[in-house]
Copies of this chain bind each other. A is one copy, B any other.
């Protein structure tokens, strides 16, 4: 792709989407334009984050990368929370978790596996990721089961959600300490000894000042297009007779994660399956351990606390995704059929949610 093409498309679709929103164009066109704009803007934000991270040094950079990695999703979700669309928020969190664990990870492993018979990555990282995924699942299941068995009241479920959210954020901060400071080398990618080419690939094309400026601009742009996208969802959904659940869990999630999708698949095809796993699994962990808790606190500050109680089928989707993803990554080796299994589960869930 030509260097000037991507920024041009970014600006064109951002402007078009803005015009569509303020001029009140047809809701389907608004939705499509906003969706395309989100993909470009999220890509821009990702690139700016990476560039700033580069100048910030490895530790702070890793932290920035990890924290801004899901910034687009977080901002979309905050707008949904503000409008009180809690069901859509939970559906999109669900979709983001399963989209990363099944679709992004599945396509990466499948594409990488077609090119390389067996791909390997750090088995200790796989084990830690698997355990953290289980902690995430537990933190979502516990409030739901306590509420649904009437062991606690609805108002208690909000207090419990706030407490659990606080615990998860603390656990996430310690995870950053563990993975970036105390045990960085222990989790390092096994294939990285042959990466003399890698530094050049990641050499930022922007200066330090420009990178920071772009990070701010990108964040503002993401905020705008997210609001425009969210504004179209309800009309669009009812127009096509789609359930909120399907739109939130599949359409919004796929759009919001498009940048990660392509990055992870590219890395896998360069035999950097470890980095691809880190993007896919890391992103889903961040949603569960950081984005979801932050949204609970955000809703608390907006004056209408959202609890962490997901519906039975959302919990099912998250639970089975973690179960199969953990089983596939745990030996630190992947092949094309393992990618296919993840995609199979994603399709089964997609068809089922579509029917709701």
Interface size class of A (residues with CB under 8 A): 35 or more
A residues contacting B by CB (< 8 A) are 117-118, 123-124, 127-128, 130-132, 134-135, 138-139, 141-143, 145-146, 149, 151-152, 156, 159-160, 163-164, 167-168, 171, 174-175, 178, 182-183, 186, 311-313, 316, 320, 323-324, 326-328, 330-331, 333, 335-338, 340-341, 344-345, 347-349, 351-352, 355-356
Q: Report yes or no: A131 in contact with B355, Cβ–Cβ below 8 A.
A: no
Q: Which residues of B contact A327 (CB under 8 A)?
A: 127, 130-131, 134, 326
- CB of A160, distance to nearest CB on chain B (Å): 6
- CB of A137, distance to nearest CB on chain B (Å): 8
Q: Report yes or no: B344 in contact with A171, Cβ–Cβ below 8 A.
A: yes
Q: Which residues of B contact A130 (CB under 8 A)?
A: 327
Known contacts A167-B344, A336-B178, A324 near B356 by CB under 8 Å: no
Q: Which residues of B contact A352 (CB under 8 A)?
A: 142-143, 146, 151-152, 160
Closest to A356 in B: B151
Closest to A179 in B: B337
Q: Which residues of B contact A328 (CB under 8 A)?
A: 131
Q: Report yes or no: B175 in contact with A345, Cβ–Cβ below 8 A.
A: no
Q: Report yes or no: B183 in contact with A138, Cβ–Cβ below 8 A.
A: no
Number of copies of chain A assembled together: 3
- CB of A177, distance to nearest CB on chain B (Å): 8
| Neighbour of A337 across the interface among B145, B175, B330, B341, CB < 8 A | B175
Q: Bound complex: CA of A298 vs CA of B156, how far in Å?
A: 38
Q: Which residues of B contact A135 (CB under 8 A)?
A: 324, 341, 344-345
Q: Report yes or no: B345 in contact with A152, Cβ–Cβ below 8 A.
A: no
Q: Which residues of B contact A124 (CB under 8 A)?
A: 331, 333
Q: Which residues of B contact A152 (CB under 8 A)?
A: 352, 355-356
Q: Report yes or no: B349 in contact with A145, Cβ–Cβ below 8 A.
A: no
Q: Bound complex: CA of A171 vs CA of B160, how far in Å?
A: 39
- CB of A300, distance to nearest CB on chain B (Å): 17
- CB of A217, distance to nearest CB on chain B (Å): 36
Closest to A131 in B: B327
| Neighbour of A351 across the interface among B151, B164, B335, CB < 8 A | B164
Q: Report yes or no: B138 in contact with A340, Cβ–Cβ below 8 A.
A: no
| Neighbour of A347 across the interface among B134, B151, B167, CB < 8 A | B167
Q: Report yes or no: A313 in contact with B344, Cβ–Cβ below 8 A.
A: no
Q: Report yes or no: A313 in contact with B171, Cβ–Cβ below 8 A.
A: no
Q: Bound complex: CA of A180 vs CA of B117, how far in Å?
A: 14
Known contacts A143-B352, A171-B344, A337 near B164 by CB under 8 Å: no
Q: Which residues of B contact A338 (CB under 8 A)?
A: 128, 131
Q: Bound complex: CA of A146 vs CA of B320, how far in Å?
A: 13
Q: 5 nearest interchain CB pairs?
A: A178-B337, A138-B320, A131-B327, A149-B312, A151-B356
Q: Report yes or no: A336 in contact with B134, Cβ–Cβ below 8 A.
A: no
| Neighbour of A356 across the interface among B146, B331, B356, CB < 8 A | B146
